[in-house]
Amino acid sequence: MTVVPMATTDIKEEPPVSLWRDAWFRLRRNRLAVFGLGVVVLLAFTALFGPYLTPFDFLSQNLDARNMPPSLTHLFGTDDLGRDVFSRVIFGTRTAFLVAIVVTAIAVVIGVTLGALAGFFGGWLDRVVMWLTDMTMSIPNLLLVVVINASLKSPISSWMESRYLATLNPFYRETIWVDFLLVFGSMALISWPPYARLVRAQVLSIRSRPYITAAQALGLTNRIILMRYVVPNALGPLIVAVSAGLGTAMVLESAFSFLGVGVNPPTPSWGNMISDGLRVWQHYPHLLAAPAAVLGLASVAFSFLGDGLNDALNPRGAK
């Protein structure tokens, strides 16, 4: 007996279209998402190459040109120390992206690992992870950041200062990265639970799908099944969450810096610029408007992009 040939009408002749490519086509049709993506790309470009795009250093003061309104030389004017606001907003973009990307990356790694393990293996591991998640989520994030700042920041800074005076090692001179370390650390600590919950829920539903049983019946190890079969299928909603999470992290960084528990002056952050601008906004509204507008734009862009990705990656949920 011979193998019966399949009817040729069964075969599509187009080149293989991956799920991601398919999603990209759908994303491109969504105008708001394209706008969001455009703004995000522009901001990312600014964050990367910003210092080369502006003639002024974000720290250089010009006391002869304080509080200047926007002009061709200073696109967003100058602040009360005569620093170029445009340069500072651009450097603030750098701060915002750096914080958002590092924090989200840490949070995603922790969240995905814990969520996937909890969902896949269940049992006591699941209970422990969920208990940890609930506990972390119950901590008021602002309070945690304030506590970490109040308790850790000055000891570390003074320890570094004394080390520098004792050794004159330049490693201990710069304390800006202590700022960043504390901001990254405390924000990552409170940002991972949503990712863990999301991934766990995804994995719970994927775990019972027939292709997982099929993979187990092939004798594949749990590690391979988890990494090649479970997690890739959970990526769609995760990408949406990450896009929204990046925007949230930026806003959160600005909020902390605004309150003085995030990135501290002279390092520019949209948050501490808004805080400075707020004091004089009746006289120099551009000092408030410039960083606030950019922060708003970034936040809106990430949320549009997230919505668009959601529709593109979950076509059944779209209208």
Partner 1 sequence: MTKTNTSERLLDVKGLTIEIETRNGPATIVDGIDLHVNKGETLGVVGESGCGKSLTMLSLMRLLPNKIRVTKGTAHFAGRDLQTMSNSELRKVRGGEVGFVFQDPMTSLNPVMRIGQQLAEPLIYHRGMNKAQARKRAGELLKLVGIPGAEDRLDAYPHELSGGMRQRVMIAIGLACNPQLLIADEPTTALDVTIQAQIVDLVKELRDRLGMSIVWITHDLALIAGLVDRVAVLYAGTVVEDAPVDDLFARPAHPYTQGLLASIPKLSDERASRLSSIGGTPPEPGRRPKGCPFAPRCPLAEAICHDKVPVLESLVSAGAHRVACFVAQRKLEAA
* Binding of residue 6 to partner 1 (CB under 8 A): yes
Distance between CA atoms of 64 and 58, rounded to whole angstroms? 16
CB 185 within 8 A of CB 148: yes
Q: How far apart are CA 241 and CA 236, in angstroms?
A: 9
The backbone torsions φ and ψ at residue 84, rounded to the nearest 5 degrees and listed phi first, read -70, 115
Instruction: Tell me: does residue 220 bind partner 1 (CB under 8 A).
Output: yes
> How many residues touch partner 1 (CB under 8 A)?
34
Beta bridge partners of 78: 84
317 binds partner 1 (CB under 8 A): no
**Spatial separation of the C-alpha atoms in residues 192 and 113, rounded to whole Å:** 10
- Residue 78: phi and psi, rounded to 5, are -130, 160
Query: Considering beta carbons, is residue 16 or 155 the nearer one to partner 1?
Result: 16
Comparing CA positions, the residue from 247, 256, 263, 230 lying closest to residue 305 is 247
Kindly state the smallest distance separating residue 20's Cβ from partner 1, in Å. 9
Q: Which is nearer to partner 1, 195 or 229 (CB)?
A: 229
Residues between 197 and 216 with contacts to partner 1, criterion CB under 8 A? 208-211, 213-216
Please give the structure tokens belonging to residue 97: 């992206």
Burial zone of 140 (CB within 10 Å; 0-12 exposed, 13-18 middle, 19+ buried) = exposed
Question: Closest separation between CB of residue 198 and partner 1, Å?
Answer: 18
Please give the Cα distance from 307 to 313 (Å, whole number). Answer: 10
Distance, in Å, from the CA atom of 47 to the CA atom of 243, rounded to the nearest integer, reads 17
Interaction with partner 1 in 8-47: which residues (CB under 8 A)? 8, 10-12, 16-19
Query: Out of 155, 166, 218, 316, which residue is the one contacting partner 1 (CB under 8 A)?
Result: 218
- Beta carbons within 10 angstroms of residue 299's beta carbon: 15
Tokens at residue 284, please?
Answer: 């120099």
Identify the residue among 51, 70, 122, 260 touching partner 1 (CB under 8 A): 122
Q: Restricting to residues 137-156, name those near partner 1 by CB under 8 A.
A: none
Length of the chain: 319
Minimum separation from the CB atom of position 15 to partner 1 (A): 8
> Binding to partner 1 (CB under 8 A): which residues in 264-283?
none
Give the x-and-dash track for 54-93 against partner 1 (CB under 8 A). ----------------------------------------
Shortest Cβ distance from residue 106 to partner 1 (Å)?
Answer: 25
Least Cβ distance, residue 24 to partner 1 (angstroms): 15
Kindly list the residues in this chain that would bind partner 1 in the complex (CB under 8 A).
1-6, 8, 10-12, 16-19, 122, 208-211, 213-221, 224, 228-229, 232-233, 235
